[in-house]
């Protein structure tokens, strides 16, 4: 059967669709945080206290908002994909930790953990052929066969 062959002719299309879906959602999710201004940034950045980082919560909140909004745009474009994936991974890790520290239910923090896993994985896969990183030569050329 074709389904069991170790060939993935639609791999790059799948990565493109994943990037588009996640990118749009993070642009929409990050914009209110970015537009919220210093008061909102300080609230978001307060989550860093779970790691013992209590200075400059406004800076950390702004960084989280930029990671979500700007990272979403970079995901959509497939540009600076790996740095964007790492920033989004750490943003989701902090979000999950905040919910865990507050004693929230699993359903409240599971989404952040799932996305952290996705972004960590995407760091290794790269953006795929249909990306600006590929166009500008920042994505390795592929061999004719997929190797583990």
Walk along the chain (148 residues) in steps of 10 and give the mean pLDDT of each run: 68 94 96 94 90 92 96 97 96 94 91 96 94 85 50
- Predicted confidence at residue 137, as pLDDT, reads 86
Provide the domain limits for residue 96: 11-135
Output the CA–CA distances (angstroms, integers) from residue 56 to 47, 59, 84, 117, 144, in the order listed: 11, 5, 22, 27, 49
Residue 76 lies in a domain: yes
- Predicted confidence at residue 10, as pLDDT, reads 85
- Predicted confidence at residue 147, as pLDDT, reads 45
- Predicted confidence at residue 148, as pLDDT, reads 44
Residue 143 lies in a domain: no
- Predicted confidence at residue 8, as pLDDT, reads 72
C-alpha span between 132 and 41 (Å, rounded): 30
Number of domains in the chain: 1
Residue 118 lies in a domain: yes
């Amino acid at each position: 059967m074709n389904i069991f062959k170790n060939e993935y002719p639609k791999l790059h299309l799948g990565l493109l669709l994943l990037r588009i879906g996640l990118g749009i959602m993070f642009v929409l999710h990050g914009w209110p945080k970015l537009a919220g201004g210093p008061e909102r940034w300080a609230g978001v950045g307060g989550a860093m206290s779970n790691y013992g980082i209590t200075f400059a919560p406004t800076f950390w909140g702004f960084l989280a908002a930029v990671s979500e909004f700007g990272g979403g745009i970079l995901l959509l474009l497939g540009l600076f994909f790996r740095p964007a994936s790492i920033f989004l991974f750490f943003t989701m890790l902090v979000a999950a930790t905040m919910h865990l520290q507050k004693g929230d239910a699993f359903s409240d923090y599971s989404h952040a953990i799932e996305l952290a896993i996705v972004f960590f994985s995407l760091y290794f896969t790269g953006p795929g052929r249909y990306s600006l990183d590929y166009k500008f030569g920042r994505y390795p050329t592929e061999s004719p066969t997929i190797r583990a």
